[in-house]
Amino acid sequence: MSKPHRYPATFAQRGMFLHNAAHPSDTSFDLAFVFRLGASTDLDLLIDATQAVFTACPGISTTFEENPSGIEAIVRPSAASVEVSSLDPTLAGAPVSDRDAAIARKTQEQIEAGPIMPEDPKQVTARFYRGPDVHHMSLVASHLVGDAYSFYRVVGSISELYARPRSEWADVLGELSEHPGTIAPVPTTAAAVSRYRELLTGVESFTHTGLKVSRIEGKIIGERHRRVISGPAAERIRSSGEFATFGAATVFFAAYAATLQRLSGEEQVVLGVPLAGRAGYRAKGAMGFFVNTLPLPVRITSAETWRGLCEQVKSGIRVLQSNQGLDLAGPDGTELTSGTYAGIDNAVTFYKQGLVLSLGSTEATSVPLQRAALSYPFSATVSDDGSEFVVEVGVADHLIDTHPERLFDEALDAIVSRPTAAVVDGSVFVENVADDARATGPTVIDAIEAIAANKPNAISLRMGTEALTYSQLVALYTSAAGVLDAIEATRLVVVSMAPSIDAVVAMLAVMASGRTYVPVDPAAPSARTSLILSRVEEENGSRPTTLVDGRLLSQSADSNVVNGNALVRSRRPARLLRRPTMEDRAYIIFTSGSTGEPKGVVIPHHNLTALLSAAETRVGYLEGDTWCLFHSLAFDFSIWEVFGPLTSGCTLVIPRADQVGNPEAFARFVEREGITVLNQTPSAFRRLTDALVRAGGRLPSVRIIVFGGEALYPADLREWFARISPQTRFLNMYGITETTVHVTLKEINQDAVDFEHRSLIGEPLPHLGALVVDSFGRPCPPGVAGELLVTGAALAEGYLGQPDLTAKRFRSVRLTDGVRRAYVTGDRVRRDRDGELVYVGRLDDQVQLRGYRIELGEISSALVATGHVRATVVRVIKKEGSQPFLAAWIVPATNDALDTDTIAAARRALADRLPPYMVPAVIVPVDAIPTTKNGKPDMAQLPLVSAADEAEGGAAPSDLASRIALVWEETIGAGRVRAHDRFMEVGGTSMHVMEVHDRLHTDLGLVDVTLIDLFEHATPAELAAFVLTRSGNS
């Protein structure tokens, strides 16, 4: 073949071409090999043999370009390069190992300087380095012109020429002329596709949350772990029953599937399986890129055995092999996957041989390369030369400490040694058993009275001009408790009073009488209040005694409704009929249930005492501190705000409702009252910070701010540190109502604010423990997110009147020190490689969108970490008649305006932190995130958004831009596309590129627009401007 000839790129080549276009700095798919050649090597003969093979292989001398008809492969005879270099003179006398390292490093640098672009004429380069005793050969190639199978053939042919007389070379070289342009595609049958459709039924996502990774300069960075299994270890595998029954590929793939499940924590995993994409003798000898990677779903239930897993994998591989010619990016793939397939995030490959350069009696040794760029966050390659197995596991940085290579080895061992055992074992859950522990000691009532005895004149409560000393406080609640005895109040007493001195005294009176208080916000919707009252009535056996503010007391003759103010102010001598014990119920707080019906969380006295005792030294509050009651008494954060100060001799100051609801007024309140310990949800804190920044205010009295109630990100504190008070201590205390307010504590310092973007929650308080488990109850490896279990001395009794729900959420677990009770939180966390416990989000906050599992909390974290956003809320919006899409409401950073420039800057920064499918389609700037009475985001108060009515960013779109946007919108199917939306940010993937490209040609007549243009001009407006400029139109 003397001149170039062209052919349309195959779908496999097209997919790799599009990957290069989308990630032009990704070098991971380029191939590289280094061999050390023994001293007796006839280097000139080997060079000639290599050049002869390169010349005879048109497949490896192929470049690619795009033209109006699509992507074309151009065969350029003899374009592959053979180069001879001299060894660096400084290395001439160095040990062989040093020379190996130097050549490997040089080859790695050559790769990392790439990638080899599709149009580069040198798609394959062989370099030879002459040495004084040993020599070296390196081979670097673009994956576009050759898969591993091809290069086994290339290296094998070079070996064969080296061993033969030159007169016989023509026989070998004549068999190397086939390439993808001369080979017919692998046919598929309707029956095979039908079997694959059945296999894919029920697959919700083709990717795994645990493998999600952000590219660094377009690359996935990580490590490769190489292990050679030889000798008795290899023989043990080969002699096993599973190896004999299923074969090597199935055994190793099954081990890989089990490892993938440990990394994902999900019952169903999807293996990416590269298939040869070749059929027939001619195809097997062809040189080029034929590989078609198809998804293989595997479901590993708690009952699945290793043998059953091998059967699943074996059956699945057969289905995939019969569909090697199926293009999932084409119409058949769209129909099979309902349009949810956007590629895979892992790959497992098996080769029946390794890449071996055979030079007869001369030794040729493969030199390993250390390449940091990975093609996938997790992958495994296994080769079997008949005597030993070589396993290479690739792991992205964020998964390194999970040690997948060890998990793989453990799974392989289990298949060989315990084939009938369950794949899933090691669950910490056991049958629920009763907790017989009994607590003794002083209650919070005892603690308050001890302070009153020692410091009777210290101020306990203050609101406005009224203040109570500790002795006055005890006298008031003791008197009120006596009244409750006198009126024979029910065991559970509802306290429906706004925060005030009287409300706090009423709470204490109920507890001091040995009863249980049930706080209900007087402003709560009547339906919610009715549900709570009915639950309490069921428990009491009668309508509950209810304490209300006197001004709200109706004229009803209902004797169960009592004027709480009058009760507290009765000041009548009383002798309590009984005092509370540690086993008594202290309070019941109703939280929102997943069904919408509130559920009552029952907390005994000993939980409260354990919390306060454990937190006192960790938090570091002092006897003279002044606290503030910011939250509703029906929100469990108020438990901490009330009893933290009152059991440690501090003063609790209560603001008016109008001060709590107005951040400017609240800032003045904090300054005037000299508050030293402040408790805030992050949402409320951001509003307070904004008010202080606007007013130029400072709060020098505030020593400690405790956060709770929702995720905190260090960037939330940046403005406070910079402009208000760098001396303030910030404590993030993750907690749950069911575990008595607080579970963990993490102090956030300046370094974390400057460099950290995760929501760090710290370590459990001394009275509690934390364990992260997957969906099967197995402890998660480091770096893998799972559900948090909390153990220890502060777990609630359960849910009032809901024994089934209690049994479901409060489970018994087996730990190293025995069986313990644990609360199943529903929160996703992970233990990262630096040891930090990181809050990821609610399990029910994990959404499914276009085939991807997405953590909304992760998007919020990334938005705040951009530096352009101070606060945010992210949700999936589902509107009738359109596809669901991600929307984010953002409060811009102090120096950013509420405009489209801020949105654009946030989008650009997100592109470095998140994969495209996680970038919100709609971003709405707002002055502030509205909050509920509990200080959490109030979604009902946020402005409604629509992908169809969001204002366009930047200049007004041209008519052409609007038409291009409509093509994108109809092709991607993820909601409206605006003129300034970026392709990847609105759900576009490489799977959509070809259809968009075709429709721009056929529907809009843009025949000169290339695939590369789509990536380089990534919004409809940019593409339209490019087209109009090129055509000379304005």
The domain defined by 959-1031 carries CATH number 1.10.1200.10: yes
Report the candidate in 811, 230, 633 with the shortest Cα–Cα distance to residue 652: 633
Dig out the tokens for 257 from the structure.
Answer: 């599937």
State pLDDT tens for residues 284-299.
889 999 999 999 999 9
Task: Please state, in angstroms and rounded to a whole number, the distance separating the CA atoms of residues 359 and 364.
Answer: 7
State pLDDT tens for residues 426-485.
999 999 887 766 677 899 999 999 999 999 999 999 999 999 999 999 999 999 999 999
Lowest mean per-residue pLDDT among 567-581, 618-632, 771-785: 567-581
Task: Please state, in angstroms and rounded to a whole number, the distance separating the CA atoms of residues 96 and 233.
Answer: 30
Strands 704-707 and 729-732: parallel
Lowest mean per-residue pLDDT among 220-234, 419-433, 574-588, 1005-1019: 1005-1019
Give the phi and the psi of residue 905 in degrees, each rounded to 5.
-65, -40
Check whether 422 has a pLDDT greater than 90.
yes
Q: What's the pLDDT at 947? A: 44
Confirm if 372 and 215 have CB atoms less than 8 A apart.
Answer: no
Reported confidence tier of residue 926, pLDDT bands at 50, 70, 90: confident
Taking residues 46-62, report their average pLDDT: 93
Taking residues 84-110, report their average pLDDT: 87
- Per-residue b/e over 452-473, b at no fewer than 16 CB within 10 Å? beeeeebbbbbbeeeebbbbbb
Q: What's the pLDDT at 949? A: 41
Reported confidence tier of residue 955, pLDDT bands at 50, 70, 90: very low
Supply the DSSP symbol for 424. Answer: S
Q: What's the pLDDT at 912? A: 65
Q: Quote the pTM value.
A: 0.81
More confident residue, 721 or 334: 721
Q: Is the peptide bond before 115 cis (omega within 30 degrees of 0)?
A: yes
Q: What's the pLDDT at 974? A: 58
Task: Please state, in angstroms and rounded to a whole number, the distance separating the CA atoms of residues 628 and 608.
Answer: 19
Q: What's the pLDDT at 478? A: 95
Q: What's the pLDDT at 438? A: 67
Same fold, 5-173 and 190-424: yes
Q: What percent of the chain has pLDDT over 70?
A: 93
Partner residues linked to 351 by β-bridges? 383
Confirm if 836 and 782 have CB atoms less than 8 A apart.
Answer: no
SS3 category, 255: helix
- Please classify residue 244 by burial: count the beta carbons closer than 10 Å to its beta carbon, then call 0-12 exposed, 13-18 middle and 19+ buried: exposed
Confirm if 663 and 688 have CB atoms less than 8 A apart.
Answer: yes
Report DSSP letters for 696-718, one per residue.
T---TT--EEEE-SS---GGGGH
Dig out the tokens for 530 from the structure.
Answer: 């009715």
Confirm if 134 and 94 have CB atoms less than 8 A apart.
Answer: no
Ordered by start, the domain boundaries in the chain are 5-173, 190-424, 850-951, 959-1031
CATH superfamily of 850-951: ANL, C-terminal domain (3.30.300.30)
Q: What percent of the chain has pLDDT over 90?
A: 56
Lowest mean per-residue pLDDT among 185-199, 626-640, 768-782, 830-844: 830-844
Q: Which CATH architecture best describes the domain 190-424?
A: 2-Layer Sandwich (3.30)
> Which residue type is seen at 379?
S
Supply the DSSP symbol for 400. Answer: G
**Largest Cα–Cα separation, the chain:** 119
Confirm if 746 and 721 have CB atoms less than 8 A apart.
Answer: no
Strands 651-653 and 626-628: parallel
State pLDDT tens for residues 768-789.
999 999 999 999 998 899 999 9
Task: Please state, in angstroms and rounded to a whole number, the distance separating the CA atoms of residues 970 and 909.
Answer: 27
Lowest mean per-residue pLDDT among 129-143, 401-415, 894-908: 894-908
- Per-residue b/e over 818-854, b at no fewer than 16 CB within 10 Å? eebbbbbbebbbbbbeeebbbbbbebebbbebbbbbb
More confident residue, 525 or 619: 619
SS3 category, 853: strand
Reported confidence tier of residue 921, pLDDT bands at 50, 70, 90: confident
CA distances 64 to 9, 116, 304, 960, Å, are 8, 11, 46, 29
CATH of 5-173, one of 3.20.80.10, 3.30.559.10, 3.40.50.300, 3.40.50.2300: 3.30.559.10
Dig out the tokens for 904 from the structure.
Answer: 């654009």
Check whether 587 has a pLDDT greater than 80.
yes
Check whether 946 has a pLDDT greater than 80.
no
Q: What's the pLDDT at 852? A: 60
Dig out the tokens for 446 from the structure.
Answer: 């005892």
Confirm if 220 and 374 have CB atoms less than 8 A apart.
Answer: yes
Reported confidence tier of residue 1032, pLDDT bands at 50, 70, 90: low
Check whether 416 has a pLDDT greater than 50.
yes
Q: What's the pLDDT at 302? A: 92
Q: What's the pLDDT at 850? A: 55
State pLDDT tens for residues 66-82.
887 788 999 988 778 88
